[in-house]
Amino acid sequence: MSKTILYVEDNEFNRKIVRDLLARTSYRLIEATDGEQGVATALKEMPDLILMDIQLPKLSGLEATRRLRTDPKTANIPIITVTSFAMSGDDQKAKEAGASAYLAKPYSPRELLQMIRKFAPED
Partner 1 sequence: MCPEEELPNTYAASAIAPTPGWGDAIARPLLTHSPLGRLVRWVAGIPVSVHAKLLGAFLLVTLLFIAMGAVTLQTITTMSRQSRLLDQGHERVDWSRQIQHALAMQSHFTALALLLRDEATIASILRENNQFNNTLARIGEAAPLEEQELIQRILAAQNEALITVADIANLVRDNKLDDARTLHLSKQEPLYLQIEGFVNQVVSIEQDRMNRLRLSVAAENRRALVLTAGFVGSSILLALLLGFVISWSFILPVREAHGFLGKVAEGNFTTTITVPNRDEFGVLANRMNQMSRELQRLYERERAAAKELQALNDRLERATKAKSEFLANMSHELRTPMNAILGFVEMILDEVYGEIPAHLKEPLTDVQTNGKHLLRLINDVLDLSKIEAGRMELSLGDYSVQDIVETVRASLQSLAAEKGLGFVAAVEDDIPLGFGDGKRITQCLMNLAGNALKFTRQGRVEISVGLEGETLTYRVKDTGIGIPKDQLENVFGEFRQVDAAITREFGGSGLGLSITKKFVEMHGGRIWVDSELGKGSTFFFSIPLRVETGEGT
Binding residues for partner 1, per CB under 8 A? 11, 13-14, 16-17, 20-21, 23-24, 55, 84-89, 91-92, 105-110
Shortest distance (Å) from residue 33 CB to partner 1? 14
Is there a contact between 24 and 50 (Cβ–Cβ < 8 Å)? no
In this complex, which beta carbon is closest to partner 1, that of residue 45 or of residue 91? 91
Shortest distance (Å) from residue 101 CB to partner 1? 16
- Number of neighbours of residue 89 by Cβ within 10 angstroms: 8
Shortest distance (Å) from residue 21 CB to partner 1? 6
In this complex, which beta carbon is closest to partner 1, that of residue 4 or of residue 55? 55
In this complex, which beta carbon is closest to partner 1, that of residue 46 or of residue 86? 86
The one-letter amino acid code at 77 reads: I
Write out the E strands in 1-123: 4-8, 28-32, 49-53, 79-83, 101-104
How does DSSP classify residue 55? S
